[in-house]
Structure 1
Amino acid sequence: MNIVFSLDQIQEVAEKIIASNPKKIILFNGEMGVGKTTLIKQLCKTLGVEDATSSPTFSLVNEYQTNNNQTVYHFDFYRLNKETEALDMGVDDYLYSGNWCFIEWSEKIANLLPDEYSTINIELLADGKRNLELA
């Protein structure tokens, strides 16, 4: 799936992503500031998370509950120095939990990823819109 959108369309983009039935582990790729966290916040809201969401840049993972009792994990591995740091925090338990896992900077844990996941690539276009590719 490929979508070109502006940030004011992010709600409908999140709805389309969830409606496309992606794998529950989704890797988010894109340059710093392209809108990965903003999209993840909207995906959480679309799934029914009612609590405030934020970037887990310093905590590495944030956990949310949806209104129908699903768990959503949001990872940000930007500050990770070694894959062993992710192992130390129990990343395997999260990734194989069957819950939603939204992962930013997944290349930092490339050897730890399960075989099946979806990928969202976001690119900032010259006109300020984003190009999103879901695979």
Structure 2
Amino acid sequence: MDAVLTEEALERWGRRIGAEAHTPLVIALRGDLGAGKSTLARAVAHGAGVEGDVPSPTFNLVFRYDTPRGVQVQHLDLYRLEDPDEVWELGWQELGAPDELVLIEWPERAESLLPTPRWEVAIEDEGDPASRRVHARPVGDPPPLPAFDGGGA
């Protein structure tokens, strides 16, 4: 799947992922600083039923949220990791339980340890602050993601 999306369309897609996707689901979010990884992660969490703020876990590294529909959202930001083996301290071996939706920002920091199946979602700045190129591809056989809907740039 590949599309150029406005920020609003990216958020809509993220909410649909959170509301519609089957678990266990792991999504690796790739992109430069400011590309929209946290925007998409917040939208997915809200779509899954997380209420209130969903801050980026840059300094905490991981936030866990329970939702009314029984899905647990795990939001990890690996940007500050210096060694891939540091992920074990975050409960990495337990990720991907049947009721979990796992969002991993900066997955390249633990590339060789990423779980399969998963979705790889790359978000790129298109030079226009109002739009992003989004490319999503499965690795292994993860549950399907909803298609991008209208509202692209």
Single out whichever of 2-11 and 45-54 deviates more from structure 2: 2-11
Matched, 1:114 2:115: yes
Q: 1:4 maps to which residue?
A: 4
Distance in 2 separating the partners of 1:108 and 1:75:
11
Q: 1:132 maps to which residue?
A: 134
Q: 1:49 to 1:25 in 2, by over 3 A?
A: same
Look up the SS of the partner of 1:102 in the other structure: strand
Matched, 1:78 2:74: no
Q: Describe the superposition over 1:97-130 as per-residue Cα deviations: whole angstroms up to 9, x where unpaired.
A: 2311100111111122222111111011122210
Is the Cα–Cα contact under 8 Å of residues 120 and 133 in structure 1 kept in the other structure? yes
Single out whichever of 100-109 and 12-21 deviates more from structure 2: 12-21
TM-score by length of 1: 0.88
Q: 2:25 maps to which residue?
A: 24
Structure 2 residues not aligned, in runs of 5+: 138-153
Look up the SS of the partner of 1:51 in the other structure: coil
Instruction: State the one-letter code of the partner of 1:79.
Output: R
Instruction: State the one-letter code of the partner of 1:49.
Output: V
Q: 1:8 to 1:89 in 2, by over 3 A?
A: closer
Q: How does 1:96-111 map to 2 (within 5 A)?
A: 96-98=96-98, 99-111=100-112
Measured after TM superposition, the shift of residue 42 of structure 1 is: 0.7
Measured after TM superposition, the shift of residue 69 of structure 1 is: 2.0
Is the Cα–Cα contact under 8 Å of residues 23 and 116 in structure 1 kept in the other structure? no
Measured after TM superposition, the shift of residue 9 of structure 1 is: 2.6
Q: Describe the superposition over 1:17-66 as per-residue Cα deviations: whole angstroms up to 9, x where unpaired.
A: 45576960000000111110011001111111113211111111001112
Distance in 2 separating the partners of 1:45 and 1:20:
13
Q: CA RMSD in A?
A: 1.9
Distance in 2 separating the partners of 1:40 and 1:6:
15
Look up the SS of the partner of 1:56 in the other structure: coil
Aligned residues: 134
Distance in 1 separating the partners of 2:59 and 2:48:
24
Q: 1:20 to 1:67 in 2, by over 3 A?
A: closer
Is the Cα–Cα contact under 8 Å of residues 2 and 132 in structure 1 kept in the other structure? yes
Structure 1 residues not aligned, in runs of 5+: none
The percentage of aligned residue pairs carrying the same residue is: 31
Distance in 2 separating the partners of 1:46 and 1:103:
17
Q: 2:13 maps to which residue?
A: 13
Look up the SS of the partner of 1:53 in the other structure: coil
